[in-house]
């Protein structure tokens, strides 16, 4: 069964198909996938890989780690599919799995190279008009935040997820997501305050 999953390739630049009767169609896909249909599971991967990548990218420091987290997340989902209740939203379920995989990858990387700086962390904030100094300081500021705060601020301010969605994906109360966002923004404001003064 595990060999079937290796045939599903997740691309971060994938464009999702046009919206249709998503909820009922998705439930049918889940039921078919639970019966062993690899095509149905591949369709679920295609529907959710862009959002899954956005979640993973918000948590991890590199595009490569985000791609690994999405692959690990979908592999775990495939193995656990029998336990999924089809009346629940598949997107939220896969989002939690991918977020946890991304956090695990981040912890493993932290152990391997705790003091290495990753240039790609500023990619979600790239703006050609920004100065190199601001990009460098922003990247350094994000890297200095606790992992969960960094995930919350990028998921909310860059990817546009709501507090409730973030709480659900990171398995924490909505209020904790709000609090983490507040603290992350305050920390970044302090780190960048001298750049804002004239």
Which tens digit of pLDDT belongs to each residue from 97-151?
998 898 888 777 654 444 443 444 444 444 444 567 777 788 888 888 888 888 8
pTM flag (> 0.75): no
Q: What is the pLDDT of residue 188?
A: 86
State yes or no: pLDDT of 80 exceeds 60.
Answer: yes
Whole-number pLDDT of residue 198:
44
- CA terminus-to-terminus distance, the chain: 61
Q: Determine the Cα–Cα distance for residues 63 and 69; give it in Å rounded to an integer.
A: 10
Residue 165 exposed, middle or buried by CB count within 10 Å (0-12, 13-18, 19+)? buried
pLDDT recorded at residue 12: 45
More confident residue, 65 or 136: 65
CB 30 within 8 A of CB 90: yes
Q: What is the pLDDT of residues 3-41, one digit of tens each?
A: 344 344 454 443 444 344 455 688 999 999 999 999 999
Q: Which of 78, 177, 99, 120 is nearest to 107 (CA)?
A: 99
pLDDT value, residue 3? 39
Domains of the chain: 1-116 (1.10.1740.10), 119-198 (1.10.10.10)
Query: From the CA atom positions of the chain, what is the Rg in Å?
Result: 18
Report which of 165, 146, 57 is spatially closest to residue 105, judged by C-alpha positions.
57
């Amino acid at each position: 069964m595990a060999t079937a999953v290796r045939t599903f390739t997740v691309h971060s630049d994938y464009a999702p198909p046009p919206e249709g009767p998503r909820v009922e169609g998705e439930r049918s896909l889940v039921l078919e996938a639970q019966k062993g249909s690899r095509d149905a599971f591949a369709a679920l991967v295609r529907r959710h890989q862009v959002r899954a990548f956005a979640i993973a990218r918000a948590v991890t420091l590199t595009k490569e780690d985000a791609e690994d987290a999405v692959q690990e997340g979908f592999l775990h989902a495939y193995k656990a599919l029998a336990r999924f209740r089809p009346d629940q939203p598949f997107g939220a379920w896969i989002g939690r799995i991918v977020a946890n995989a991304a956090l695990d990858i981040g912890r493993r990387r932290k152990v391997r190279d705790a003091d290495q700086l990753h240039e790609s962390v500023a990619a979600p904030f790239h703006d050609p008009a920004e100065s190199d100094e601001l990009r460098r300081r922003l990247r350094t500021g994000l890297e200095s935040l606790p992992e969960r705060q960094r995930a919350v601020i990028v998921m909310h301010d860059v990817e546009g997820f709501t507090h409730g969605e973030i709480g659900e994906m990171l398995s924490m109360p909505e209020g904790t997501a709000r609090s983490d966002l507040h603290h992350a923004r305050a920390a970044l404001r302090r780190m960048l305050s001298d750049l804002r003064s004239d």
